[in-house]
Amino acid sequence: EAGVAQSPRYKIIEKRQSVAFWCNPISGHATLYWYQQILGQGPKLLIQFQNNGVVDDSQLPKDRFSAERLKGVDSTLKIQPAKLEDSAVYLCASSFYGGAVNEQFFGPGTRLTVL
Amino acid sequence: KQEVTQIPAALSVPEGENLVLNCSFTDSAIYNLQWFRQDPGKGLTSLLLIQSSQREQTSGRLNASLDKSSGRSTLYIAASQPGDSATYLCAVRKQTGANNLFFGTGTRLTVIP
């Protein structure tokens, strides 16, 4: 079974530029999550999708971050414009559905460096 | 608000030693607790998941315990090996609502050959 795929694996940009990350969840998984992991910290949930609807985006900085999952499969997370403090690893995870019993499976992450 | 703390932040041990990693959480209303391993440049790998009604889970050389009333969990690694070197994260899942995981800051383990 293929795991969660993410691209790119690494990205370096200047502050105020825009960047987009892509995630392809495990086939059949209805729930998709984006986490931000700043160096030395644990991952923090940014947004959770159930199919193509948003379940929780309470910690997403909506003035600069946006995410979509138009067809309920792949998802894109965008930052526009980027700030220095956005430097982090962005992890995508998926689960069969969003109930508490469902284990989340994580992708390898995208490491973003903002200069 | 749920806060998860892991102590120590970093740990170095010689190969073969047994060791314990600690995790504490402030809100005992959890559904389950999960221990993950994170290798540099890679995603998270789930090690053990303990339901709130359970006291411990074992997988090979790993044993995780949960004391929900005191808000504590431990991960015991027996006969440590250099391949165990990684960052270990614990995460708790809320009892209700979305399937959100609240993560600790992790313990970076180095096993010295």
Q: Does B71 touch chain A (CB under 8 A)?
A: no
pLDDT of A98 reads: 63
State the pLDDT confidence band at B99, using cuts at 50, 70 and 90.
low
**Out of B31, B32, B105, closest to residue A42 by CB:** B105
Structure tokens at A111: 């490491």
pLDDT of A113 reads: 97
Residue A95 distance to chain B (closest CA, Å): 9
Q: How many CB pairs under 8 A join A and B?
A: 62
Chain B residues in contact with A108 (beta carbon < 8 A): 41-43
Share of chain B above pLDDT 90, in %: 79
Any idea which residue has 């607790």 for tokens? B33
pLDDT of B64 reads: 97
pLDDT of A100 reads: 58
Q: Distance of CA A61 to CAs A36, A80, B58, Å?
A: 11, 11, 39
Structure tokens at B50: 């303990």
DSSP-assigned beta bridge partners for residue B49: B34
pLDDT of B100 reads: 77
Q: Does A53 touch chain B (CB under 8 A)?
A: no
Give, as one character, the DSSP assignment of residue B81: -
Q: Distance of CA A25 to CAs A9, A49, A98, B81, Å?
A: 15, 11, 14, 32
Share of chain B above pLDDT 70, in %: 96
Of B77, B107, B111, the residue nearest B89 (C-alpha) = B107
Q: Does B108 touch chain A (CB under 8 A)?
A: no
Residues B34-48 have pLDDT tens digits of 999 999 878 899 999
Q: A42, B4: Cβ pair inside 8 Å? A: yes
From first to last of the 115 residues of chain A, give the pLDDT tens digit: 689 999 999 999 999 999 999 999 999 999 999 999 999 899 999 999 999 899 999 999 999 999 999 888 999 999 999 999 999 999 999 998 766 567 888 999 999 999 9
Q: Does A109 touch chain B (CB under 8 A)?
A: yes
Q: Average pLDDT for residues B99-103, to the nearest whole number?
A: 84
Structure tokens at B75: 């991960």
Round to whole Å and give the CA distance between B61 and B75: 10
Residues B46-88 have pLDDT tens digits of 999 999 999 999 999 999 999 999 999 999 999 999 999 999 9
What rounded mean pLDDT belongs to chain B?
93
